[in-house]
Amino acid sequence: MASQMRWTCAQEKSWGVVPKSDETRRLIQSALFHHFLFSDLEEDGTVDIIDTMAQEEALAGMVIIQQGESGDKFYVLESGRATVKVNNRLLASPEGSLRPGAAFGELALMWNSPRAATIVATEDCVLWTLSRPLFRRLLAASSSSQTAVLCDFLKNIPLLKPLGNQETTKIARALRGAMFSDAEYIIRQGEEGDLFYLIYKGTVVCTRSDEDGKERELMKLGPGDFFGERALQLREPRKANVIACGDVECFTLSQQQFVQLLGSIQDVM
C-alpha cells in the first residue's frame, strides 16, 4: 500500500521549504518540463514549488500508487525504477517503465478521480512529492490552468467519453482557442481543411451552396458539438460552410493532432 511508504524528511509543512541539493532541483525541474502538463512552464514559476516538494522512499516491491485508490500527491522519481500497470497488466516500455526523471500521479489530482494505474517500485526509489494544493498551484503557473478548465468541459462531451482521462488531458493540452464574430465564416465550402473544431461557447450554422448558388441551412451546432472532421478524415475539400451565429468560441486541433489524439474514436464521428 502507498501508505506504507517511508518518509525520509520531516512531513511537508504547508508551504514549508524542504532543503534539497542543486542536482536534485535540476532533476525535478527537468522532470516537470518533460511532463506533458508542464512543458510550457517558465523556470521562475517552478522555483517556489520545487522548494516545497517533500522526499519519500519506496523500497523495491512497494506499491507507490494503487489503481482505484484516491490520490493526493504528484510524484517525481529521483532514483530507482518503477513499473506501471493498468488493470494488472504491465504497460509496454517506455510508458510502463519509469526511470529517474519520470513524473507521474497527475491524473487523479486533475480529474478528482481514482488512481488510473498502479505504480510499483522495482528498485529502491527516492521520490519527490507535491501535495494536491501545490500541484494545483503549479498548474496555475503554466498554461495548464486552462487545461484544468478544459478538462471539466471535455469530460462532458459524449464524443470523448470512450477516451481515458490521460488521453483527454492530452487533448486539453493540445487545443487552441479561436474566436469568431457574428456571420463570420469559420469554414468555407470547397476550401482545403486543416483544422478540427470543438464548440466551447455559442452557436454555428452549417450551410451548403448548391449548384444554383443558393445557400441552404443544414443544421445548427452548439457547445460540445464538433465540426471539420470530415475533410481531415477523408482528405477532401470542405463539403459545407460553417458560420458563426453571434459570438462563438471554439477550440481547434491541427490535422496531425486530430489523427494522433482522436485516432481511436474516429470511427464514431
Ligand X SMILES: Nc1ncnc2c1ncn2[C@@H]1O[C@@H]2COP(=O)(O)O[C@H]2[C@H]1O
Does the protein bind ligand X through residue 80 (CB under 6 A)? Answer: no
Check binding of 2 to ligand X (CB under 6 A): no
* Residue 135 binds to ligand X (criterion: CB under 6 A): no
Q: Which of 122, 143, 145, 166 binds ligand X (CB under 6 A)?
A: 166
Which ranges of the chain would DSSP assign to H, the alpha helix? 22-34, 44-52, 106-111, 132-141, 144-154, 165-174, 229-234, 255-262
**Minimum CB separation from ligand X for residue 191, in Å?**
37
Count of C-beta atoms within a 10 Å radius of residue 212: 5
Shortest CB 73 distance to ligand X, Å: 9
> What mask, x for binding ligand X by CB under 6 A, covers residues 189 to 218?
------------------------------
Q: Is position 86 an interface residue for ligand X (rule: CB under 6 A)? A: yes
Q: Measure the CA–CA gap between 245 and 199, rounded to whole angstroms.
A: 12
Q: Is 241 within 8 Å of 208 (Cβ atoms)?
A: yes
Exactly one of 32, 41, 84, 139 binds ligand X (CB under 6 A); that residue is 84
Residues from 90 through 129 that contact ligand X (CB under 6 A): 91, 95, 104-108, 115-117, 119
The answer to whether residues 199 and 175 touch, using CB atoms and an 8 Å cutoff, is no
**How far is Cα 189 from Cα 28, in angstroms, rounded to an integer?**
49
Give the three-state DSSP class for 236. Answer: coil
Cell matching residue 223 = 457547445
Question: Which of residues 27 and 84 has its CB atom nearest to ligand X in the complex?
Answer: 84
- Determine contact, residues 206/166, Cβ cutoff 8 Å: no
Q: Report in angstroms how near the CB of residue 46 gets to ligand X at its nearest.
A: 18
Least gap, CB of 174 to ligand X (angstroms) = 17
Binding interface with ligand X (CB under 6 A):
65, 71, 84, 86, 91, 95, 104-108, 115-117, 119, 166
